[in-house]
Amino acid sequence: MGKSIDYMMEMVEDYLEGNKDRMDFELDFQYEIIEKYRKMAKEDREFAEYFYDMLVEEGVDAGKELTDEKFFKLIRKNFSQLKGFYSVDIL
């Protein structure tokens, strides 16, 4: 899709595969989305907006008060939906 989008997708996958704990993921994710969002939007505006909605607003931001387990499930569910969009979008 694009270098910045792929990078952010891989970052989330890394967390979901257990390679990062929640604190590291949240800190890195918030920093990287600020740094990469404009580039993501240039690569694919519609996907970048959906990514932001699903993983920032309805993911990391919405999950601030959740337990680690519920936060993980929320991110996994939203990422799954996002990947569905990603697959359809590239076909």
- pLDDT digit string, tens, across residues 58-80: 999 999 999 999 999 999 999 99
The tokens for 20 are: 């990062």
Query: Is it the case that residue 89 has pLDDT exceeding 80?
Result: no
Please, are residues 28 and 20 in contact by the beta-carbon 8 Å criterion? yes
Q: Is the pTM of the predicted complex or chain greater than 0.85?
A: yes
Sign, CA dihedral 87-40-11-7, equals positive
How many domains does one find in the chain? 1
- Per the structure, the complete domain to which residue 79 belongs is given by 3-90
Q: What is the pLDDT of residues 16-40, one digit of tens each?
A: 999 999 999 999 999 999 999 999 9
C-alpha to C-alpha distance for 47 and 66, rounded to whole angstroms? 26
Long-range contacts at 19-24 (CB < 8 A, ≥ 24 apart):
22/68, 22/71, 22/72
The tokens for 35 are: 């740094």
